Structure 1
Amino acid sequence: MTVIGVAGVTCGGKTTLSERLVHLIKAELKSAVVVNQDDFFLPKMDVARIWKQGDPSVLFYDYDSPKSVDAVRFADAVDRALLDNDIVVVDGNMLTEFPCIYEKLAKVLFITLDKETCRKRRVVRTDYDPADVPGYFDQIVWPAYQQHVEHAKKRADGKCVFLDGSKHPDDVLLQQILRELDRDLIRIRTDAISVEEATQFVTSPTNGAISLFIGTTRDNFRGKKVMQLEYEAYEEMAAKELHRLCHRIRAKHPSIDRIAIMHRLGVVPVTYASVVIATSSPHRQDAMAATQFAIDELKRTVPIFKKEVYEDGTTSWKENAECCRHSK
């Protein structure tokens, strides 16, 4: 599960770009939704008011300050959206100003405009409530944008991609960005699972650590000889739970970059792998902790069922992979 931010200048085309991203995502048979910052503005009575420069008879409502948004409710909405979607697109001019939102974003498409183009677009907008009054753009809107763009440019994490709002980015660029953001690899399959595929997926130049877990069938369990394991699952439900697990991993360990989780169904002979988990991060402590959390929670929450087949011909059904030999 991935969160993409569409931020930047007012009237720069954020909503249109967000809708295009969702269209491209759904064309790849993935689920996506937009969460809009503007849905979380505080009530008008709670928004800061500023006197107009040179005219104290006029008050501006400062909707271009992060303090005008209920950031906690905004962040909760993003988390809820992630439970049911592969990708969440977050639309808002101030995304880079909210730490609780910014930390969730894998990439930020930050739209820029020159002042006069922005002014011309803003003046024809009739859907603002309250409506713009003379002086609001120059005193509030534009200075706030300049502050936001400077903050974004100073960030050294590589998240922000700056796009000229006077031009429409082509779908090739947007598809490339989406491919770069595909940070979770989920595989549920009946044939052998590949440790190499998992490790290659999580390998990245920016990461200094990869933690790998392999669960294999062992030949004994509680004094009985095990011949093989057999796994069953409702694949769609299991895959959905694994995507949710990836989100929970990142919520608990924000530095995690990529996650690969693979689980085999059907017959898994002794010494063969039934589950492979790999995580990567800049530092080893986070990767190791995330991998441990991932296998513990997979066994606890993901609906995959296992049948143990013993040498004496008896069988036993259990949920998840407790009869595995674990290695890191």
Structure 2
Amino acid sequence: MILSFFVLTILKKITDEVQGVCTGGVHEFWKIHAAKEFQRYFGAAETTIINQDEFYKTEEVVEKIYHPAAVTLTEQEYYWSFDEKEAINIDQFKERILQESKVFKNVIIDGNMITEMDEIVELCDQIVVLTLDFKTCRRRREARMDYVLPDTPGYFENVAFPAYLRHLENARKRSRTDPKITFIDVSEPRFENKCESIQDFRGQILNDHIKLTDLRIEVGLVDQLVRHPSCGAM
């Protein structure tokens, strides 16, 4: 199984022997620490972490966003569009996943745009999307200590979070026909304590997936849902 986090997702078995975990999100706290916790849980010797950010294209070829705020807030007067899938070398990303799955029993994929990439989603066995509100996300993002590059002024509110909302909406649309997608809200206070909440979170992902929909559920979808190993209730 490959587990992926969009603000959190779980990816699919490439072979019967391989498990994989992917982490991602608009702030770094959860994707980094969730990835490490799953690596510890599955066993460090049998588990590797692949970061989506390793496959970013260079600034020279990434699309520029000429947002009005960038004129006054940035030296270059534009933002780079690093929160859209076009900024990722998707073929290289997929190839790396396939290669690592031949070496490691568990592959953890860390990235915030997993559900935007059909080539990666097609590998998925289960997808867990972590959601959070603007204020909580911004506060946690600004408090992160283990992410190398700080945000360009105005990037979060003008580029990153709007992109997150688009990705989240796309994930919700996918979930209407794809029973492997689940959502967990990590804005709750219990997710503030890293040490306590990560383990609780891990247990929720592995043992307590819930499918929510406001649409009419077709019989075929219900059958897929109740048969899926991630579902313990209806």
Q: Confirm or deny a common fold (TM above 0.5).
A: yes
Q: Which residue of 1 aligns with 2:26?
A: 10
The more displaced of 47-56 and 61-70 is 47-56
Q: Which residue of 2 aligns with 1:145?
A: 164
- Matched to 1:146, the amino acid is L
Q: Which runs of 4+ in 1 moved over 6 A?
A: none
Q: What CA distance in whole angstroms lies between the structure 1 residues aligned with 2:153 and 2:135?
A: 15
- Matched to 2:39, the amino acid is V
Deviation at 1:55, TM superposition (A): 5.3
Q: What CA distance in whole angstroms lies between the structure 2 residues aligned with 1:125 and 1:175?
A: 26
| TM-score under structure 2 length normalisation | 0.68
Are 2:203 and 1:172 equivalent residues in the alignment? yes
Q: Give 5+ residue unaligned stretches, structure 2.
A: 8-24, 192-196, 210-222, 230-234
Q: What CA distance in whole angstroms lies between the structure 2 residues aligned with 1:136 and 1:172?
A: 33
Secondary structure of 2:83's partner?
Answer: coil
Deviation at 1:151, TM superposition (A): 0.8
What is the CA deviation profile of residues 260-300 of structure 1, one whole-angstrom value per residue up to 9, with x for unaligned ones? Answer: xxxxxxxxxxxxxxxxxxxxxxxxxxxxxxxxxxxxxxxxx
Are 2:169 and 1:120 equivalent residues in the alignment? no
Q: Which residue of 2 aligns with 1:80?
A: 99
Q: Which residue of 1 aligns with 2:67?
A: 52
Q: What CA distance in whole angstroms lies between the structure 2 residues aligned with 1:55 and 1:63?
A: 15
- The answer to whether the 8 Å contact 1:6/1:89 transfers is no
Deviation at 1:77, TM superposition (A): 0.5
Q: Which residue of 1 aligns with 2:49?
A: 34
Q: Which residue of 2 aligns with 1:206?
A: 224
Q: What CA distance in whole angstroms lies between the structure 2 residues aligned with 1:150 and 1:34?
A: 26
Q: Name the count of aligned residue pairs.
A: 179
Q: Give 5+ residue unaligned stretches, structure 1.
A: 179-204, 208-256, 259-328
Are 2:142 and 1:111 equivalent residues in the alignment? no
- The answer to whether the 8 Å contact 1:109/1:163 transfers is yes
What is the CA deviation profile of residues 69-128 of structure 1, one whole-angstrom value per residue up to 9, with x for unaligned ones? Answer: 100100000000110122212111100001111111111222111101111122344635
- The answer to whether the 8 Å contact 1:31/1:87 transfers is yes
Secondary structure of 2:6's partner?
Answer: strand
Secondary structure of 1:44's partner?
Answer: coil
Q: What CA distance in whole angstroms lies between the structure 1 residues aligned with 2:204 and 2:141?
A: 27
Q: What CA distance in whole angstroms lies between the structure 1 residues aligned with 2:103 and 2:93?
A: 17
- Matched to 1:14, the amino acid is K
What is the CA deviation profile of residues 195-249 of structure 1, one whole-angstrom value per residue up to 9, with x for unaligned ones? Answer: xxxxxxxxxx539xxxxxxxxxxxxxxxxxxxxxxxxxxxxxxxxxxxxxxxxxx
Deviation at 1:174, TM superposition (A): 3.9
Secondary structure of 2:49's partner?
Answer: strand
- Matched to 1:159, the amino acid is K
Q: 1:134 to 1:176 in 2, by over 3 A?
A: same
Q: Which structure's relative contact order is higher, taking Cα pairs within 8 Å and 6+ residues apart? A: 2
Structure holding more strand per residue: 1
Structure holding more helix per residue: 2
Equivalent in 160, 179, 201 of residue 158 of structure 1: 179
Q: Cα RMSD (Å) of the superposition?
A: 2.6
| TM-score under structure 1 length normalisation | 0.50
- The answer to whether the 8 Å contact 2:52/2:109 transfers is yes
- The answer to whether the 8 Å contact 2:39/2:47 transfers is yes
Q: What CA distance in whole angstroms lies between the structure 1 residues aligned with 2:163 and 2:181?
A: 18
